[in-house]
Amino acid sequence: MKVIGAGFGRTGTLSLKIALEILGFGKCYHMRDVIMRPRHILAWHKAGMGKPVDWDFIFKHYNATVDFPASLFYGELKRKYPSAKVILTIRDPEAWYQSTERTIYKVPTIIPYWFKRMVFPLRKFIKMTELLVWNGLFKNKFSDRELAIQIYNEHIQNVTRNVPKEDLLIFDVKEGWKPLCDFLDVDVPENISFPHLNTGDTMVRILNAVRILPYIVVIIIMISIITLLIYPK
């Protein structure tokens, strides 16, 4: 492990993931990777329960990690991988709250209960995020804007206090390549713009598509069944 991201979701973590991969740090772990790996979902659930976690298993094919849920365990990861650099992505607290509230905070509620019951990995994934993030980190009170922002600011203070200065970069992705490359001691890529991905508006459009996905799946299944009944082989 070469880089540990300590920033919350919606602080430019996907942009940082792609930036690190462009810089040659290999595959970078992100919440999107968790979704695709049911065994990882179970491992993170164990972490949320305070049980021992095999970090080498989770990060076997990765040289860096950013975003929830790994950022919640930056301290444990730094102790496990002491030579790793830590990057704390930040943004204006009000902007962070607004972006989070209209995007990833909505995920557990936009997917119908019956569909979560049908798709086991999805159900476990949502339970994991609730355990670690919404009920754990934010004490089931994320809707309390002042409390959520307080927790966000306290996290920044804790990371700043606990990680040695020489190993820590506090980074706003709006700053672009230079501070990141200086910190990691690599050259700024030529003719490649710093990636700015997963904006709030983009995420909202994705969630709107996710909202109707379960019904599309059911319609496809029903059409398939009807077709088999009408045109049996």
pLDDT tens per residue across span 68-87: 999 999 999 999 999 999 99
DSSP per-residue codes, 75-140: HHHHHHSTT-EEEEE---HHHHHHHHHHTGGGHHHHS-HHHHHH-HHHHHHHHHHIIIIIIIITTT
227 pLDDT higher than 70? no
Q: Rounded mean pLDDT of the chain?
A: 88
pLDDT digits (tens, 9 = 90+) for 100-123: 998 889 887 777 666 666 666 788
Domains and CATH numbers, the chain: 3-230 (3.40.50.300)
pLDDT classification of 35: cutoffs 50, 70, 90? confident
